[in-house]
Structure 1
Amino acid sequence: MLQVNGGRKNMNGTMMQYFEWDLPNDGKHWQRLKEDAEHLKEIGITSVWIPPCYKGVGQEDVGYGVYDMYDLGEFDQKGTVRTKYGTKKELLEAIEALHKQGIHVYADVVLNHKGGADETETFEATPVNEDNRHEAIGETREIEAWTYFNFPGRNGEYSDFEWHWYHFSGVSDDEKTGDHGIFRIEGEDKGWAPDEHVSTEYGNFDYLMFADIDYSHPEVIEETKKWIHWFIEETNIDGIRLDAVKHIDSAFMKDLIEDVRETYDDDFFFVAEYWHQRYKFLEDYLEEHEYALSMMDVRFHYALHEASKQHNEFDLRRLIDGTLYKSNAEQAVTFVENHDSQPGQSLESYVEPWFKPLAYGFILLSSYGYPCVFYSDYYGYSGEIEYEGCRKEIDILLHAREEYAYGEQSNYLDHDNCIGFTRTGDDEHPEGCAVIMSNGEEGYKEMYVGDLHAGDVYIDLLKNREEEITIDDEGKATFLVNAESLSVWVRKPE
């Protein structure tokens, strides 16, 4: 485990989400990652977010249909030894290769549910209204569901814990009747997590899918802590991306995070995915966790999506309204796209290709947030999406982030279709930069870069503009940008 503050933003760190939903099921992804480690270091990536790396309900599973979290591609289960991404040996080799390059590794961890049980069990449950999970829509009855997990292919290696119906709070199917819906499991101390500890969408949003894990059960708490210690030590990861936290008892999550940091290091990185556009819900979650974790800036992503769809009808001055970026930048992980927002997924909110360079310019050159580059925006999309990404632009912006994007930021948000900001530089990186973007016509903006730059000549790193601009005696200049474009102005090398 690297101990350099998790590759975080105060180092001008940049994360890359190194997967998408439609990667080929060829078992070679860990090999690709290993071979790419040196290149990632060269372009300025300081941390990599890897997909869920344990056995899912089948070989093709992206990792969110969790079956056995102790099987990292080692045992013959669900018809395969490897996961979609490769074997355990290849996973560990990829992590080691990244660490050799000084790159931190964050693992995607899905604690909400389990799928692909080994046998069914019978127990008492109540069908509930999917739009209000507190409302029963039928009598409590005995149902049969897939809740028994004993992982015969692993045969007790690493853990002999077996999961039973009483370790879960809800399921979606009754095998006795063939009914499909949401069934709340009944019994002593059973029920959904308290409303104050999960999202209250649909009355109580504890249940999401598969067999929903009950984190009030002492055996579940003990086993999950045991697993996460094993996982961290087995893989040597530097941080964790916590999936779907609005569906998981937040009191348990707080306890788990504290336990990990007490055992390993206070700088062990956690970022939580709470998928909601209203900042208040993210702020409440941060407050409950005493601001001890980062969160994905979901509203900012949606603003980028809306801007890309609306073109010049979107007011760029409103881009950061209601975002973590604006109100709690220290905890914000900013992202343009991810596996859930890409086309074809349940949370589809795709940022149109024309706007992606502008979006990456905003998150990579800003002083706020911890930016994350999406795999497919760099390497191109798999599946049915015909978009090869904007690798050239991202490479230039990553270079600019490493060399120029330092110091105080001044925003120029005085026009609905043309905005900009400047970075003053710092003692180690005195150059600074001026960033300007337009979602409408060709534009310009007078901005201050510092009187120490008086007389300096600036050029557009992206080469979208060919002019050379001279800074005046007051440290100001009028910077230019093409229609629906981005320009990053820096001092011309001598």
Structure 2
Amino acid sequence: MMNLLTTYAQRWTAIMAMLGVVFFFSCNDEDLSKPDTSRDDIQVVDVTTHDGRPFQLPESQHTKGRYTAGPGGGVMMQAFYWDVPAGGTWWNTVKGKVTSWGNAGIDAIWLPPASKAQNGPYSMGYDPTDYYDFGNYNQNGTVETRFGSKTELQSLINKAHTENLQVYADIVLNHNSGGQSEYNQYTNSYTWTDFTGVASGKFTRSQHDFHPNWVDNNDEGVFGGFPDLCHEVPYVQDWLWGRSDAVAKYYKNTMGFDGWRFDYVKGFAPWVVNTWNGAVGGFSVGELWDSDVNYLNWWANEANSSVFDFAAYYRMNDAFDGNNLNRLNDDMMWKRNPYKAVTFVTNHDTDEIWNKMLAYAYILTHEGYPCIFYQDYESWLDKNKLNNLIWIHNQKATGTTSILYTDSDEYIARRNGYGGNPGLVVYINNSNSWKERWVPTNWSNTQIKDFTGHSGWYPTTQGDKWVKIQCPPNSYSVWSPNI
């Protein structure tokens, strides 16, 4: 288990209208001890979020009832972290939260690998043994998985569906673990490749189904020294997605999963994910741990899948922790192909960004499909502020993106709106003092406000659509018509 944990810890539409960067005039970029209230077109109300009192989501932004899609789309929740409590309680823990998550604007949850793995009651699931054992067979020292029983998992999935949330399964297809030793004719040695005794009796495997074998010596990559599954073998393909009770179809049709997060896709060719998706459909995202945007975009197109935007992840780390917001001008997957980019601030494997609220303000106002990390939401950050950003994402973050201004401390971008939705302007300030800027909007003679509540200004845009906005220190503001 520790070897697996250590290994994981070490692992790793269209170009936006950046030509629309504007020349700023009459910009007051002095350090401000308090907001400038001298302009006639700005109304000022008391700002209650700077005096230490808890942030309160504006009443008009509270959502009620089950999740319903907003004009900006939804937000994914990674519904676990590394080493969640063992003892078979996790499925019930998540089940108890899906109603509040749906009310907050979460549209999908990503669960950890759900089937029985080598380390039984202690495993996080990334060392899979039996793809059909969801905590209903006594093998690997346990009946339940670390997370609970099959019945509890199905109850969680059903509950999520009643709240109009989709459920994404974490699928580990590169490697297996927990097999018995057998003499391997391809290596002339003993290997742990005998899975003929799996308790479910389904997708039994042997040396012929792993690299090296009669088809090929290797594929794109191996992980952790585990037996490396060979997807070129017709028998393996049949059991993964071909037959009526294949893994993909069982997960979807029997267990009720709606989509897929594919683990360590560097370990096998993208046609595997493409074929899986073609067989069962549903949303999918691949964990291609690489900051090369060309590579990410190539894989997403070849796999017909979304991909985690590691390019954005590392650029945000450079920007917010490295105190250089100019890095947000760099290329990212969401800029190349926003419909196939899943943006994130933290996950179960990597947690490098410390200035997380600025990072969440970035991904929840920009294009791509944002993913929130369980511990950030439930334990580490201000849930009310995250809920506010989720609301802004779902209700306001529409249309293409124009970057309006960047320097080492400031970043301003505009979402240009779509289908009658006016979009927004987001202002991120990584300095220790208030900042103000004149910016071009898409709104003429229109009163706007900061929907985060961080600023008390209610400015009116000029006839030429320009307006002066502000942002508090080490924070963000999000502006849109006051309607």
Secondary structure in 2 matching 1:365: coil
- The offset of 1:60, in angstroms, is 1.4
Q: What is the CA–CA distance in structure 1 between the aligned matches of 2:418 and 2:350, rounded to whole Å?
A: 36
Q: Does 1:111 align with 2:101?
A: no
Q: What is the CA–CA distance in structure 2 between the aligned matches of 1:8 and 1:234, rounded to whole Å?
A: 26
Q: Given the superposition, is the C-alpha separation of residues 10 and 272 from structure 1 closer, same or farther in structure 2, using an over 3 Å criterion?
A: farther
> Counterparts in 2 of 1:269-280, with a 5 A limit?
269-280=283-294
Of 253, 258, 262, 2:273 maps to: 253
Contact 2:319 2:326 in 1 (8 A): no
- The offset of 1:403, in angstroms, is 2.7
- The offset of 1:10, in angstroms, is 7.1
Match of 1:190, as an amino acid?
D
Contact 2:252 2:280 in 1 (8 A): no
Q: What is the CA–CA distance in structure 2 between the aligned matches of 1:490 and 1:284, rounded to whole Å?
A: 35
Of 318, 330, 336, 2:327 maps to: 318
- The offset of 1:422, in angstroms, is 2.5
Contact 2:208 2:214 in 1 (8 A): no
Of 423, 426, 432, 1:435 maps to: 426
Of 459, 464, 470, 2:454 maps to: 464
Of 234, 240, 243, 1:224 maps to: 240
Q: Given the superposition, is the C-alpha separation of residues 168 and 125 from structure 1 closer, same or farther in structure 2, using an over 3 Å criterion?
A: same
Match of 1:166, as an amino acid?
H
- The offset of 1:457, in angstroms, is 4.8
Q: Given the superposition, is the C-alpha separation of residues 11 and 322 from structure 1 closer, same or farther in structure 2, using an over 3 Å criterion?
A: closer
- The offset of 1:222, in angstroms, is 1.4
- The offset of 1:492, in angstroms, is 4.7
Q: What is the CA–CA distance in structure 1 between the aligned matches of 2:384 and 2:197, rounded to whole Å?
A: 46
Alignment partner, residue 181 of structure 1:
none
Contact 2:181 2:190 in 1 (8 A): yes
Match of 1:327, as an amino acid?
R
Q: What is the CA–CA distance in structure 2 between the aligned matches of 1:488 and 1:85, rounded to whole Å?
A: 39
Alignment partner, residue 243 of structure 1:
263
**For structure 2, which runs of at least 5 residues remain unmatched after alignment?**
1-67
Alignment partner, residue 182 of structure 1:
none
- 1:192-236 residue CA offsets vs partner (Å, 9 max, x unmatched): 12xxxx3xxxxxx34554111111222212121222112211112
> Counterparts in 2 of 1:224-373, with a 5 A limit?
224-225=240-241, 226-261=246-281, 268-289=282-303, 292-310=304-322, 312=323, 314=324, 316-342=325-351, 350-352=352-354, 355-366=355-366, 368-373=367-372
Q: Given the superposition, is the C-alpha separation of residues 238 and 277 from structure 1 closer, same or farther in structure 2, using an over 3 Å criterion?
A: same
Q: Given the superposition, is the C-alpha separation of residues 28 and 320 from structure 1 closer, same or farther in structure 2, using an over 3 Å criterion?
A: farther
- The offset of 1:364, in angstroms, is 1.0
Q: Does 1:213 align with 2:274?
A: no
Match of 1:248, as an amino acid?
F
Secondary structure in 2 matching 1:215: coil
Contact 1:54 1:72 in 2 (8 A): yes
Alignment partner, residue 385 of structure 1:
none
> Counterparts in 2 of 1:40-189, with a 5 A limit?
40-57=101-118, 58-117=120-179, 119-124=180-185, 142-151=188-197, 153-154=199-200, 156=201, 159=202, 161-169=203-211, 185=212, 187-189=213-215
- The offset of 1:333, in angstroms, is 0.8
Match of 2:372, as an amino acid?
V
Q: Given the superposition, is the C-alpha separation of residues 279 and 402 from structure 1 closer, same or farther in structure 2, using an over 3 Å criterion?
A: closer
Match of 1:220, as an amino acid?
V
- The offset of 1:11, in angstroms, is 5.2
| Fraction of identical pairs, as percent | 29
- The offset of 1:8, in angstroms, is 9.1
Q: Does 1:478 align with 2:481?
A: no
CA RMSD of aligned residues (A): 2.4
Match of 2:192, as an amino acid?
W
Using the size of structure 1 for normalisation, the TM-score is 0.77
- The offset of 1:279, in angstroms, is 1.4
Of 26, 33, 58, 2:87 maps to: 26
Q: Does 1:389 align with 2:409?
A: no
371-380 vs 207-216, greater mean Cα deviation: 207-216
Contact 1:279 1:299 in 2 (8 A): yes
Q: What is the CA–CA distance in structure 2 between the aligned matches of 1:273 and 1:324, rounded to whole Å?
A: 13
Secondary structure in 2 matching 1:26: coil
Secondary structure in 2 matching 1:23: coil
Which structure's relative contact order is higher, taking Cα pairs within 8 Å and 6+ residues apart? 2
Contact 2:198 2:204 in 1 (8 A): no
- The offset of 1:330, in angstroms, is 1.9
Match of 1:143, as an amino acid?
S
Contact 2:436 2:470 in 1 (8 A): yes
- 1:469-490 residue CA offsets vs partner (Å, 9 max, x unmatched): 3333333221111222211234
Match of 2:376, as an amino acid?
D
Contact 2:71 2:398 in 1 (8 A): no
Q: Given the superposition, is the C-alpha separation of residues 11 and 487 from structure 1 closer, same or farther in structure 2, using an over 3 Å criterion?
A: closer
Q: Does 1:398 align with 2:390?
A: yes
Q: Given the superposition, is the C-alpha separation of residues 424 and 213 from structure 1 closer, same or farther in structure 2, using an over 3 Å criterion?
A: closer
- The offset of 1:293, in angstroms, is 1.4
224-233 vs 432-441, greater mean Cα deviation: 432-441
- 1:434-487 residue CA offsets vs partner (Å, 9 max, x unmatched): 2100223432222233334x25152x3333334443333333221111222211
- The offset of 1:112, in angstroms, is 0.8
Secondary structure in 1 matching 2:101: helix
- The offset of 1:288, in angstroms, is 2.6
Task: Give the structure with the larger strand fraction.
Answer: 1
Q: Given the superposition, is the C-alpha separation of residues 168 and 411 from structure 1 closer, same or farther in structure 2, using an over 3 Å criterion?
A: same
Match of 2:327, as an amino acid?
R
Contact 1:436 1:445 in 2 (8 A): no
Q: What is the CA–CA distance in structure 1 between the aligned matches of 2:270 and 2:129, rounded to whole Å?
A: 22
Match of 2:107, as an amino acid?
T
Q: What is the CA–CA distance in structure 2 between the aligned matches of 1:325 and 1:427, rounded to whole Å?
A: 21
Q: What is the CA–CA distance in structure 1 between the aligned matches of 2:88 and 2:223, rounded to whole Å?
A: 31
